[in-house]
Homo-oligomer: A and B are copies of this chain.
């Protein structure tokens, strides 16, 4: 039984709490949130301890691991503190919006053997993972092209967009990690294009984009196309396609239900796609916790770690620069 304390009991934190409680090999060691009332309610629902501070959590001998689901700005600090306290760490992405801060954190925790897992949950989706597994098994031969389509069902609230660090850091970050997961090879070149088609006013104000295309290339010439939109009215569009010398593997979208209607002159499916990540990746969030628990208990490296968080952020930086300079950016320029 891995005893995990959850830091941050917002929407994502509460979902992790539920998964930990239901997990046969994990136990909820307690929760903490700066919002006392929210933490109290979550603790109460699960007969779990409510810690009064992060320090309390990190000093508690009954805590084996911390799950960091607090606001982004606190992630790097909490990672450093938890490493110092020798607690295993599961941290929601991103490590930080600033690559410099990520690098300073990296320096500080260098040499530690504390397991640190980053919450790139999509790696744990059955379909996406089956694409990776197919590639490893040779089912599509040598990989040539990857196409990642990733569109949110709707714009996040303005207040979130304003501080999110831009689409490459708040949204594409997941796709950059997926690209790395599927490509299995270092990316050397990045080019990007951005448009303001969904909410021009907001995007101009934030100097951000709502519709982007990113093209990545590896040293051996493998290509990866990522396309994002901040609003797909038909639901949460999440597809991964890998094309190679011997075939293609596609992880398709998830419809809301499997009922199809055939009527006069048309057929339809209604509602369309699953709406958002807590549903669409619900099973993946579970698998992710299992993977973390297994890694810690068996002393293995977590499947996705600090370096992955850093690399994804570097790709985001490169994409931002590509838009500004209207040229391909080599990753070694970052």
CB within 8 Å of B: which residues of A? 18, 22, 47, 126-128, 130-131, 134, 139-142, 144-145, 147, 149, 151, 189, 191, 193, 195-198, 211, 213, 215, 217, 220-223, 225, 227, 229, 231-235, 237, 243, 245-273, 326-328
Question: Are A197 and B142 in touch, CB under 8 angstroms?
Answer: yes
Question: Are A193 and B215 in touch, CB under 8 angstroms?
Answer: yes
Give chain B nearest CB distance to A313 CB in angstroms.
23
Q: Which residue on B lies nearest to A327, using beta carbons?
A: B327
Give chain B nearest CB distance to A148 CB in angstroms.
11
Contacts of A215 in B (CB 8 A): 191, 193, 213, 215
Known contacts A246-B264, A265-B270, A266-B272; decide if A223 and B233 are in contact (CB<8 Å). no
Give chain B nearest CB distance to A147 CB in angstroms.
7
Question: Are B225 and A227 in touch, CB under 8 angstroms?
Answer: yes
Question: Are A258 and B254 in touch, CB under 8 angstroms?
Answer: yes
7 smallest CB-CB distances across A and B, nearest first, come from A195-B221, A130-B259, A268-B268, A247-B263, A266-B270, A234-B262, A126-B257
Give chain B nearest CB distance to A195 CB in angstroms.
3
Contacts of A265 in B (CB 8 A): 233-234, 270-272
- Other-chain contact of A145, B22, B145, B229, B250 (Cβ < 8 Å): B229
- Other-chain contact of A197, B245, B261, B267 (Cβ < 8 Å): B245
Q: Which residue on B lies nearest to A195, using beta carbons?
A: B221
Q: Which residue on B lies nearest to A139, using beta carbons?
A: B261
Question: Could you tell me the distance between the alpha carbons of A196 and B223 in the complex, rounded to whole angstroms?
Answer: 11
Give chain B nearest CB distance to A197 CB in angstroms.
5
Give chain B nearest CB distance to A35 CB in angstroms.
20
24 contacts between A and B (CB under 8 A): A126-B257, A126-B259, A127-B258, A127-B259, A128-B259, A140-B261, A144-B198, A147-B227, A193-B215, A193-B217, A196-B221, A198-B245, A213-B215, A213-B225, A233-B245, A233-B264, A234-B247, A234-B248, A234-B266, A248-B261, A249-B262, A263-B272, A264-B272, A267-B269
- Other-chain contact of A191, B141, B193, B237, B272 (Cβ < 8 Å): B193
Give chain B nearest CB distance to A287 CB in angstroms.
12
Q: Which residue on B lies nearest to A153, using beta carbons?
A: B264
Contacts of A247 in B (CB 8 A): 233-234, 261-264
Q: Which residue on B lies nearest to A217, using beta carbons?
A: B193
Known contacts A144-B197, A245-B233, A327-B327; decide if A259 and B250 are in contact (CB<8 Å). yes
Question: Are B195 and A151 in touch, CB under 8 angstroms?
Answer: no
Question: Could you tell me the distance between the alpha carbons of A260 and B234 in the complex, rounded to whole angstroms?
Answer: 12
Question: Are A195 and B223 in touch, CB under 8 angstroms?
Answer: yes
- Other-chain contact of A252, B189, B259, B263, B327 (Cβ < 8 Å): B259
Q: Which residue on B lies nearest to A249, using beta carbons?
A: B261
Question: Are A232 and B222 in touch, CB under 8 angstroms?
Answer: no
